[in-house]
């Protein structure tokens, strides 16, 4: 069961703000999941735009409220666009999110993620524990884009993982969102330990990418409550994963599950979000 919130804004209020403000989010994201990212933004109440050419990256960023940078399918051209857009967003005071997909899997991904962190002020950095460890420690054991099994957060390792996330948050100045079986969303002082979600979410590609896009909308709608907004998006995604699983029939598989998650986000109410949130503070 969720406990009483220790902040002055509720998760439901944040979702209401997203739906009222319909924040326009610039996504420089990977082509494996770009359509799902656009649809999850529309489902939660935001509005997506995708522009990764250097000729327009800064201009598009200027008309948007927030920026989502995802390194899942890097090339040298998009790296330039990411840096240009990120610096433009910083200059405008727009929140920027980094999803370091596969950091640790190749030198290009790892180096690019580190360069982005050095050159851009990120409001949120969201990834699995292997990716976040790679960025924090300079090395990791990521295999592909999934967390290495040795790095999974469990009840036994939760306290140390929370301390690690808080330290990295203090180092970067960003909210750190570590997603897995137990999600951790932390700043340097507080951490939400979130237990929403369903194991089947790992059977479809892109739930993390979708969460990053949705988190960008939430933090853009509630810029003075970055920690709570990032936690609200993480809870919403996990909760909708639960609701989507409950809807599956005997004939449904992971393709249906993917669509049901998007449906669940579209139909999620602020009351549902408040009632279904399963977390604790550490």
For residue range 52-88, list pLDDT tens digits in order.
999 999 999 999 999 999 999 999 999 999 999 999 9
Mean pLDDT of 244-259: 97
How does residue 19 score in pLDDT terms, banded at 50, 70 and 90? Answer: very high
Q: Is pLDDT larger for residue 147 or for residue 259?
A: 259
* pLDDT number for residue 4: 41
Q: Is pLDDT above 90 for 234?
A: yes
Cα dihedral 169→120→177→237 (10° resolution): 160
Rg value, the chain, Cα: 17
* pLDDT number for residue 3: 43
57-66, 129-138, 223-232: the lowest-pLDDT one: 129-138
C-alpha 95/C-alpha 25 separation (Å) is: 10
Q: How far is CA 220 from CA 60, 76, 91, 156, 205, in A?
A: 16, 28, 15, 34, 25
CATH superfamily, domain at 11-281: Ribokinase (3.40.1190.20)
Q: Is pLDDT above 70 for 239?
A: yes
Beta strands in the chain (DSSP E): 24-28, 47-50, 66-70, 96-99, 124-128, 175-179, 183-186, 191-194, 279-281
Return the domain boundaries, the chain.
Answer: 11-281
Mean pLDDT of 237-252: 98
* pLDDT number for residue 54: 97
Percent of the chain residues topping a pLDDT of 90: 90
């Amino acid at each position: 069961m969720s406990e009483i919130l220790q902040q002055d804004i509720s998760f439901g209020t944040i979702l209401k703000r997203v739906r009222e403000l319909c924040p326009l989010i610039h996504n420089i994201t990977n082509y494996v999941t770009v359509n799902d990212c656009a649809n999850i933004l529309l489902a939660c109440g935001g509005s997506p735009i995708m522009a990764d050419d250097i000729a327009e990256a800064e201009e598009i960023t200027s008309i948007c409220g927030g920026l989502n940078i995802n390194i899942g399918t890097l090339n040298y051209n998009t790296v330039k666009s990411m840096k240009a857009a990120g610096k433009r967003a910083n200059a405008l005071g727009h929140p920027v999110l980094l999803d370091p997909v596969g950091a640790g899997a190749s030198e290009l991904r790892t180096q690019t993620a580190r360069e982005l962190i050095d050159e851009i002020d990120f409001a949120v950095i969201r990834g699995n524990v292997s990716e976040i460890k790679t960025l924090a420690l300079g090395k990791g054991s990521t295999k592909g884009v999934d967390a290495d099994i040795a790095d999974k957060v469990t009840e036994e390792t939760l306290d140390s993982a929370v301390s690690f996330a808080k330290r990295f948050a203090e180092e970067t100045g960003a909210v750190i969102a570590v997603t897995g079986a137990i999600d951790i969303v932390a700043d340097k002082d507080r951490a939400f330990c979130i237990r929403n979600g369903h194991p089947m979410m790992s059977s479809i590609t892109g739930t993390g990418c979708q969460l990053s896009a949705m988190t960008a909308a939430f933090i853009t709608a509630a810029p003075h409550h970055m920690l709570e907004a990032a936690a609200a998006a993480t809870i919403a995604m996990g909760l909708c994963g639960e609701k989507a699983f409950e809807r599956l029939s005997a004939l449904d598989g992971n393709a249906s599950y993917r669509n049901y998650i998007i449906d669940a986000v579209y139909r999620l109410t602020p009351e549902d979000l408040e009632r279904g949130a399963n977390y604790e503070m550490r």
